[in-house]
Amino acid sequence: MRTHRLETAHIGWMKLRTGVTGNDTALTDSTKEYDNVPSHRYDVPPGLNSIEVRALASVTGVGCTIKIYAARKLGDVALVCSLAVTTGTQETTIDGVTYYYVDTIVVTSSWMKDIKEADIAGNDGMSRIGFDILGYDEVFALISGYASGTWRVDITGF
């Protein structure tokens, strides 16, 4: 008798952006082209269906805007969502740097499927969002609208 198994990829948290101290410029309808995909993109491996994103900053109580994009190799770039985020007081140390997790997220979705949200209401924990990657090949984040701190965006998936 043959046993059938559902197999899927799974990765631990990885940095998507780190050490961000300057504001990025969001892509516009006229600049959403593959040539404008930044080098800090994440290449989605085969079998990965869903992406989960969290953000952190070196300062508590600060906010910013994070735009998450998906790209097809040598094709289109789509805005997945825009996140208005604020850090809370739960801290963690990653690579010797103390960060505070984003604990508040307001999502404006541009995606064809629902963006899932977890712990987004200012609970001083780790807030995050998740979405179906819909067959896109790459994911990247652009950060803007903040006055202080060093920002980091992490990604995982399954």
CA atoms within a 13 Å half-sphere pointing along the CA-CB vector of 89: 2
pLDDT on residue 8: 59
pLDDT on residue 1: 58
Residue 150 contacts residue 125 (beta carbons within 8 Å): no
Q: Where are the beta strands (DSSP E) in 6-76?
A: 11-20, 42-43, 50-57, 63-71
Would you list the domain boundaries of the chain?
11-157
Residue 36 sits at φ, ψ, to 5 deg, of -100, 10
Residue 118 contacts residue 103 (beta carbons within 8 Å): no
pLDDT on residue 119: 87
pLDDT on residue 74: 82
pLDDT on residue 153: 97
pLDDT on residue 34: 93
Weakly modelled stretches of the chain, pLDDT under 70 = 1-9
Q: Are strands 50-57 and 138-144 parallel, antiparallel or unpaired?
A: unpaired
